[in-house]
């Protein structure tokens, strides 16, 4: 078959899992050869040797060199998954967990969910008796520690993408260091795309307590570091002469310039999130239609978390002959996923980052400048298969003098509430004294303790309360959501709470991009109520059930059918969890007041008062008097009630509240007296 030739010559090995489900057209030999051509293959013996002789091995290698997909297979081949043991590999991102697991299953020619499986929150595709290689998010592994503190099922834990320094990765590294003292046979592999590895090596080298005199057998405690040489090609960097104010517009015109002036080759564009990516896809698709007469051939695809399976597969499929694929991605494509065949990179210079301010107690997702390290990674994506070009949508001067060298670890820019509960649940009482890779700020820690105390999750001695604190720790949700569900069970509306929690776990249930904004607003109006977004979701849910869970009904109402199926699934899981925790499951029928009260009992820290009702309403947070606005997507955008509680904030030019309910101010002192004393 012609597809085989793709592997024969030095073209990239396009091996999308979709087309390879049966593996027949390529044959095992083709994939096997592809595996042997990856840079890590040369180091296979060295990696296995280091693993035998060292408790911790740090592997640095460029994106695409085969760390994630190959090393777990080498471990299995070498027997680390024999005798009922399991090799486990963590990723900071859910989408990466799913794609790499599919890819590895395909390379091993096994069905995903059997020998190779994955677990992400609310989705477990493993079989405990069969699964030998398991991919999961670092957050899920942290949760598993609650039931199995020494992770005794696992022979090797590979913490992948450690350079990202996600909050969960940092916690995990601290905890794994502790576990290693109790389980000398446990092996750790820490892999990273950058030399961030050095600080991690130093961390594993130093120990707070003196270790027992090392025996003359057993693995060395000192971490080994191995650098895998990549085979990246040169990438020419182009900067802008003048800064631009609108990176979205600039990205779109740069792609069109590339398409008009440069030889064939796919384009990878880095934007920040679903909003700007969908907008860019739309603009480019429109442009491509205008060009159609004399110059067609643009295939524009988005890539961000929350895409359907089919959309994901398209991104990884080979580019049809004569076409130029343009993938517009978040920084998920920076190092977590390998997209083959990219020759041009367009780098906006921005990404969405979580920032938490302990003074205002506000955490929001902010579009912020990336670091030089990220910019280099992004550029590197253009040189995987042949020399490439990277177009940076900023000036050289800006790169040199304004961009920070490295990003700030998430630990130091996140709300620490979940982190504190998890460590407490693992029996770590002195949290400030924990062996941190990077210490969290004391202010952030104090805020977290304060919030947890007022939620009734910690007591005066900073211990988890029983049962509430322990129940919250068991729930794989934001602690405020968990608290809201527990209150729901006390107030007789837990059924409603878990439905709401399921909706809030998704980005959006509305179909974006199909209808006009006006049509979407009208569709929403069909369900909207003046009590707010959460109650509106309950109405959508009822409508969906009444329609017999019909996809036509969703289509008609501009609701995303896949998202609704996800809501059902998550609700089902939460249902089981709530039962397991011994909480009362009950519905309150039409009583929306009790629903809003239960929500408030979890989210009172997000209470705001109306200051001026022009422009969607300007509010101030009760606690710290920050100016916030109702997001235009909220059903309360034009209603502007006096008192509201929001679910989350997004910041662009100002702070917007997303998912808002109207509340009664008397509830605050009733439900959270400690918090509102002053
Ligand atoms: P690393 O973890 O070092 O960044 P990976 O193990 O993810 O590298 O990828 C190694 C190689 O495997 C890639 O260069 C690519 O050729 C191939 N590959 C990985 N994932 C996929 C996929 N989903 N579809 C097609 N090829 C893939
Ligand atoms: Mg990887």
Name the least confident of 200-209, 285-294, 351-360, 605-614: 285-294
- The tally of CA atoms less than 13 A away on the side-chain side of residue 304 is 18
- The rounded Cα 183 to chain-centroid distance in angstroms is 30
CB of residue 602 inside a 6 A radius of ligand 1: no
CB of residue 444 inside a 6 A radius of ligand 1: no
User: CA nearest 531: which of 662, 668, 667, 664?
Assistant: 662
- Amino acid 20: pLDDT: 37
d(CA 434, CA 440): 10
What is the total residue count of the chain? Answer: 678
Q: How far is the CA of 596 from the centre of ligand 2 (A)?
A: 43
CB of residue 64 inside a 6 A radius of ligand 1: yes
Mean pLDDT of the chain: 89
Q: How far is the CA of 1 from the centre of ligand 1 (A)?
A: 23
Q: How many H helices and E strands in the chain?
A: 26, 21
Looking at the predicted structure, is the pLDDT value of residue 108 above 50?
Answer: yes
- Amino acid 26: pLDDT: 46
CB of residue 287 inside a 6 A radius of ligand 1: no
d(CA 560, CA 240): 39
Q: How far is the CA of 380 from the centre of ligand 2 (A)?
A: 14
Greater pLDDT, 354 or 382: 382
> What angle in degrees, to the nearest 10, is found between the helix axes of 494-504 and 479-491?
160
Give mean pLDDT, residues 551-580: 94
Question: For the purposes of burial, counting CB atoms within 10 Å of the CB of 552, is it exposed (0-12), middle (13-18) or buried (19 or more)?
Answer: exposed
User: CA nearest 489: which of 602, 651, 349, 327?
Assistant: 602
d(CA 347, CA 372): 12
Q: Which residues surround ligand 2, an ion (CB under 5 A)?
A: 68
Instruction: State the maximum Cα–Cα separation within the chain, in Å, rounded to a whole number.
Output: 76
CB of residue 230 inside a 6 A radius of ligand 1: no
Nearest ligand 1 atom to the CA of 337 is: 7
Question: For the purposes of burial, counting CB atoms within 10 Å of the CB of 507, is it exposed (0-12), middle (13-18) or buried (19 or more)?
Answer: middle
Name the least confident of 10-14, 32-36, 227-231, 571-575: 10-14
Residues 411-442: tens digit of each pLDDT: 999 999 999 999 999 999 888 889 999 899 88
pLDDT band at residue 279 using 50, 70 and 90 as cut-offs: very high
Q: E strands along 322-442, which residues? A: 324-329, 342-347, 350-357, 362-369, 388-395
Looking at the predicted structure, is the pLDDT value of residue 392 above 90?
Answer: yes
User: CA nearest 427: which of 203, 209, 183, 145?
Assistant: 145
Alpha carbon nearest to ligand 1 atom 19, residue = 338
CB of residue 70 inside a 6 A radius of ligand 1: yes
Residues 456-490: tens digit of each pLDDT: 999 999 999 999 999 999 999 999 999 999 999 99
- Residues with Cβ within 8 Å of residue 654, at least 6 apart in sequence: 627, 628, 629
Q: How far is the CA of 338 from the centre of ligand 1 (A)?
A: 5
- Amino acid 507: pLDDT: 81
pLDDT band at residue 515 using 50, 70 and 90 as cut-offs: low
Pairing of strands 154-159, 187-192: parallel
Nearest ligand 1 atom to the CA of 316 is: 24
Name the least confident of 1-15, 163-177, 264-278, 349-363: 1-15
- Examine the predicted complex and report whether its ipTM is higher than 0.95: yes
Q: How far is the CA of 58 from the centre of ligand 1 (A)?
A: 19
- Amino acid 513: pLDDT: 63
pTM of the model: 0.88
- Amino acid 209: pLDDT: 53
User: CA nearest 234: which of 9, 389, 391?
Assistant: 389
Nearest ligand 1 atom to the CA of 103 is: 23
What are the residue ranges of helices labelled H in 183-322? 197-205, 247-261, 274-291, 309-316
Cα three-residue angle 283-289-290, rounded to 5 degrees: 90
Residue 189, strand partner residues: 57, 158
Residue listed under structure tokens 């592999």 = 189
- Amino acid 217: pLDDT: 59
The number of the ligand nearest the C-alpha atom of 90 reads 2
The region that residue 219 occupies, defined by phi over 0 for left and psi between -120 and 50 for alpha, beta otherwise, is beta
d(CA 182, CA 526): 58
Backbone phi and psi for residue 257, each to the nearest 5 degrees, phi listed first: -60, -45
Residues 167-213: tens digit of each pLDDT: 999 999 999 999 999 999 999 999 998 876 778 888 988 765 555 54
CB of residue 311 inside a 6 A radius of ligand 1: no
d(CA 532, CA 155): 49
The region that residue 38 occupies, defined by phi over 0 for left and psi between -120 and 50 for alpha, beta otherwise, is beta
Give mean pLDDT, residues 227-242: 90
CB of residue 338 inside a 6 A radius of ligand 1: yes
Looking at the predicted structure, is the pLDDT value of residue 645 above 80?
Answer: yes
Give mean pLDDT, residues 226-244: 91
Residues 20-63: tens digit of each pLDDT: 333 333 445 688 899 999 999 999 999 999 999 999 999 999 88
- Amino acid 522: pLDDT: 87
d(CA 655, CA 624): 14
CB of residue 67 inside a 6 A radius of ligand 1: yes
The number of the ligand nearest the C-alpha atom of 40 reads 1
DSSP string, 48-76: HHHHHHBSEEEEEE-TTSSHHHHHHHHHH
d(CA 118, CA 405): 34
Give mean pLDDT, residues 382-389: 92
Q: For residue 188, give the DSSP letter.
A: E
CB of residue 65 inside a 6 A radius of ligand 1: yes
pLDDT band at residue 11 using 50, 70 and 90 as cut-offs: very low
- Amino acid 38: pLDDT: 93
User: CA nearest 571: which of 555, 558, 559, 587?
Assistant: 587
Structure tokens, 521: 């607003």
Q: How far is the CA of 130 from the centre of ligand 1 (A)?
A: 24
Nearest ligand 1 atom to the CA of 40 is: 3
Looking at the predicted structure, is the pLDDT value of residue 546 above 80?
Answer: yes
What's the Cα-to-Cα distance from 132 to each of 107, 155, 269, 295, rounded to whole Å?
Answer: 15, 10, 36, 49
Percentage of residues in the chain having pLDDT higher than 70: 92
Looking at the predicted structure, is the pLDDT value of residue 155 above 90?
Answer: yes
CB of residue 98 inside a 6 A radius of ligand 1: no
Name the least confident of 310-314, 605-609, 638-642: 310-314
Backbone phi and psi for residue 187, each to the nearest 5 degrees, phi listed first: -110, 140
Structure tokens, 459: 């007591």
- Amino acid 495: pLDDT: 97
């Amino acid at each position: 078959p012609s597809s085989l030739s793709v592997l024969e010559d030095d073209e990239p090995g396009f091996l999308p899992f979709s087309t390879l489900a049966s593996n027949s057209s390529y044959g095992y030999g083709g994939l096997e050869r592809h595996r042997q051509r990856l840079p890590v293959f040369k180091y296979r013996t060295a990696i296995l040797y280091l693993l035998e002789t060292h408790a911790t091995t740090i592997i640095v290698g460029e994106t695409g060199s085969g760390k994630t997909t190959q090393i777990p297979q080498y471990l299995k081949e070498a027997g680390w998954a024999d005798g009922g043991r399991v090799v486990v590999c963590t990723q900071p991102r859910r989408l990466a967990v799913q794609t790499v697991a599919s890819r590895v299953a395909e390379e091993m020619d096994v069905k995903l969910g059997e020998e190779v499986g994955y677990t992400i929150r609310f989705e477990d595709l493993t079989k405990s008796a069969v699964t030998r290689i398991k991919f999961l998010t670092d957050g899920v592994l942290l949760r598993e520690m609650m039931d199995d503190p020494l992770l005794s099922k696992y022979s090797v834990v590979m913490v992948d993408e450690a350079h990202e320094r996600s909050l969960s990765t940092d916690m995990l590294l601290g905890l794994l260091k502790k576990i290693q003292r109790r389980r000398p046979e446990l092996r750790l592999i820490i892999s990273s795309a950058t030399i961030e590895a050095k600080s991690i090596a130093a961390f594993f080298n130093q120990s707070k307590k003196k270790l027992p005199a090392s025996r003359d057998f057993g693995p060395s405690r000192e971490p080994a570091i191995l650098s895998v040489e990549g085979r990246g090609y040169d990438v020419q960097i182009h900067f802008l002469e003048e800064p631009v104010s609108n990176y979205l517009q600039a990205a779109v015109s740069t792609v069109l310039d590339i398409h008009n002036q440069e030889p064939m080759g796919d384009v990878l564009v880095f934007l920040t999130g679903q909003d700007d990516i969908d907008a860019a896809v739309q603009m480019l698709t429109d442009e491509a239609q205008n060009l159609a007469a004399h110059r067609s051939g643009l295939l524009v695809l988005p890539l961000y978390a929350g895409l359907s399976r089919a959309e994901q597969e398209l991104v990884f499929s080979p580019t049809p002959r004569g076409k130029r694929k343009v993938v517009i991605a978040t920084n998920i494509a920076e190092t977590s996923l390998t997209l083959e065949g990219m020759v041009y990179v367009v780098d906006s210079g921005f990404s969405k980052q979580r920032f938490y301010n302990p003074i205002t107690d506000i955490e929001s997702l902010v579009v912020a400048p990336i670091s030089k390290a990220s910019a280099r990674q992004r550029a590197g994506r253009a040189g995987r298969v042949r020399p490439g070009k990277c177009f940076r949508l900023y000036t050289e001067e800006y790169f040199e003098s304004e961009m920070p060298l490295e990003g700030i670890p998430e630990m130091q820019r996140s709300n620490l509430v979940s982190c504190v509960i998890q460590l407490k649940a693992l029996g770590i009482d002195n949290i400030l004294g924990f062996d941190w890779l990077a210490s969290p700020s004391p202010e952030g820690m104090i805020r977290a303790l304060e919030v947890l105390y007022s939620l009734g999750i910690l007591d005066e001695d900073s211990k988890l309360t029983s049962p509430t604190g322990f129940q919250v720790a068991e729930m794989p949700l934001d602690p405020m959501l968990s608290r809201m569900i527990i209150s729901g069970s006390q107030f007789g509306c837990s059924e409603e709470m878990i439905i709401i929690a399921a909706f809030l776990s998704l980005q959006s249930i509305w179909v974006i991009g199909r209808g006009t904004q006006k049509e979407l607003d009208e569709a929403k109006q069909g369900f909207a109520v003046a009590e707010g977004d959460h109650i509106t979701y309950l109405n959508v849910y009822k409508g969906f059930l009444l329609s017999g869970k019909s996809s036509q009904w969703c289509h008609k109402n501009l609701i995303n059918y896949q998202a609704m199926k996800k809501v059902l699934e998550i609700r089902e899981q939460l249902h089981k969890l709530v039962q397991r925790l011994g909480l009362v499951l009950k519905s309150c029928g039409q009583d929306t007041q009790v629903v809003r009260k239960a929500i408030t009992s979890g989210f009172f820290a997000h209470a705001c008062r109306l200051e001026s009702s022009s422009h969607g309403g300007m509010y101030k947070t009760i606690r710290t008097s920050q100016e916030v606005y109702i997001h235009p997507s909220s059903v309360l955008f034009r209603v502007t009630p006096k008192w509201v509680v929001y679910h989350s904030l997004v910041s662009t030019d100002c702070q917007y509240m997303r998912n808002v309910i109207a509340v009664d101010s008397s509830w605050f002192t009733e439900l959270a007296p400690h918090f509102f004393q002053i």
